[in-house]
Structure 1
Amino acid sequence: MSVRPAWEVRESGGATRWFEFQLTFVDGARVDALAVVGGGCVCVEEVRAQPALSLDDLAELADWIEEAVEQACGAGPGPDGCGTQRRRARPAWPQGAEGRRLVAQEYRAAQREGADPVLAVMGATGRSRRTSLRLIGQARDAGLLPPRRARR
């Protein structure tokens, strides 16, 4: 992972800054992004990924970029146009054992109603499909859900 300032434009007491982001994964996947920071917000201008990202992964990437910009600039909008106004698009979700217990409850309730349990967990947590599957796996590992497949 690398975050580099690309360029900056100063205007009437503030500034607009661009940052280049590059993520390289051990499996060879790569994501390059360009984000602009100004007026107290972060906007992703360009994303290139190999292999292509799903919409859920793109939303996850946007959250990661927002956090990386905060670390690079310091939290909160400043007179230099750097930083963000922090907002949570998803509900707060407890960590640890309590979070796993709630994931298991959502999963079982969706199964009883005949709905897709993964979509139910995604809706409850506000997380991507990949993250929701990981949370479900953690609930299985903790013994709160039955194994995915019956062993023979």
Structure 2
Amino acid sequence: MSVWPAWEVREGDGATSWFQVRLAFADGARVDALAVVCAGRVSIEDVRAQPALSLHDLTVLADWIEEPLFEACGAAAEPEGEAGGGGGVEEPAVSRRARPAWPRGVEGRWLVAQEYRAAQEEGFDPVLAVMCATGHSRRKSLRLISQARDEGFLTPRHARR
């Protein structure tokens, strides 16, 4: 994880600081964010991730980067209160993925079919829904959808002759 200051605005005794944050995971996933630290709180202004983050991952992103941000700007995180808060910087070094691994085999194809059908029923792009759920590219998601069709979890795309 890398944190570097972007800019800072001072008002009276307080300051609002913006930081560029980059998280790189062992599986090749990467998250670039613009974070704001103001009055002991972390806010995320902009996020770019490869592959795309799920909604759950977005909700925990601030927690992932909070302690390293406070260390970069010289403030202490409010809930921790411990002087030896260096554990937060070492934690991302543990090999973890940006999102849980998608199950393989029949279970994964069944889940792909569920995501695909739910998106269709709600009027959304089903391929995009599978991409967001799995974190895979469009090509890989189309391959998973076709495997779900072959498995019989989705209706055939074209009438076979």
Q: Shorter-chain TM-score: which interval?
A: 0.3 to 0.5
TM-score, normalised relative to structure 1: 0.48
TM-score, normalised relative to structure 2: 0.45
For the pair shown, the structure with the greater C-alpha radius of gyration is 2
